[in-house]
Amino acid sequence: MIDQQLKQKVMAERLQKYERMGYRFVGPRKHSAIKVCAWCKTSLRGEGSCYKQKFYGIESGQCLQMTPTFFACSENCLFCWRPLRYALPKDQAWDSPKDIMDDAIAAQRSLLTGFKGNPATPLLRFQRAQDPRHVAISLSGEPTLYPQIGDLIADIKGRDMTAFLVTNGTLPERLQALLDKGQQPTQLYITLAAPDPATLKKTALPIFPDSWERLQHSLGMLRQFERSVIRLTLAKGLNFHDPEGYAALADQAGADFLECKAFMSVGGARDRLPYQDMPLFPEIQEFARTIERASNYRIVDEKADSRVVLLANQSSSPPRLLFSE
């Protein structure tokens, strides 16, 4: 009894800590969370938008950033901007997708209330933000650890919303289940944190000893998904090397798009990596050009303030824009 009370007290203190940082925990069991993205706020003030709006037509002001696994991940990437030390879920009771999404949308609306009286936010723009059209399942942790990830995607799409799923690829069986059950996300991202096993171990601090093999298995499925992206988050002195190696892996996987992005020195990443390890945008551009020369991918767009370059697979890429701006 005392142990249970102590656990509840510790968890309550953890939740309060992160709520003070702008997170809101949703669902009865509070393993899911949302946080209003800085780009969403910027967009509502008319001061700019996320690179995903420029690249794919995803309107930043109508994007809901969430996770069903806030405290659980299979890796502890040094470049991650979350202030957590992750572990695999143990004896976790899980909320239903409907409970998670009902609460997530309500929490998003509540957090955006202050924009209604902001002179920089037109009323129509605020009203549009009250009905998010896009869900980025990427806020924290590894979302495929949530056993009902396919049902969550189905729930989101059933609300006439798009779903972007971001995974580290360490649970290929969950990705296979999405294919088998016809529960594909609108766009699947796999983070390729390294061009080789040694760099992955150094960069991602994986919990599974066979994480590299798991990642390769997941990459091998990408051609079966309707839209797929390989995401490179690059940090000097860590994984910002061997662009030809990344190019070979990308060609083998055949993803529709490839994003080369600098790690950003924000949040928890500031405690793990020095500021000077953040590549400059010209360095990211040159890295992307090297990948272009060594692969079937061609540079099609970029966004300087996010330090990101987009490449498209010349053999298979679908139309980039899901929606017209």
pLDDT in tens, 36-82: 999 999 999 999 999 999 999 999 999 999 999 999 999 999 988 77
Taking the C-alpha atoms of residue 56 and residue 259, their distance in angstroms, rounded to an integer, is 12
Domains of the chain: 2-313 (3.20.20.70)
Which residue stretches of the chain have pLDDT < 70? 1-4, 83-84, 268-270, 324-325
Q: How far is CA 63 from the centre of its chain?
A: 12
Q: How many whole angstroms from its chain centre is CA 261?
A: 13
Q: Which residues contact 149 (CB under 8 A, 6 or more apart)?
A: 68, 137, 143, 165, 174, 178
pLDDT of residue 35: 96
Per the structure block, which two tokens stand in for 271? 């405690």
Instruction: Read off φ and ψ for residue 105, nearest 5 degrees.
Output: -65, -40
Query: Please, which residues have CB within 8 angstroms of residue 156's CB and are 6 or more apart in sequence?
Result: 97, 101, 135, 162, 163
Q: For residues 81 and 90, is the Cβ–Cβ distance under 8 A? A: no
Nearest to 126 by CA among 135, 141, 113: 113
What was the pLDDT predicted at 86?
80
* Element (DSSP H or E) covering residue 254: none
Report the sign of the C-alpha dihedral through residues 271, 277, 280, 283, in that order: negative
Residue 162 host element (H or E): strand 162-167
Per-residue pLDDT, 322? 86
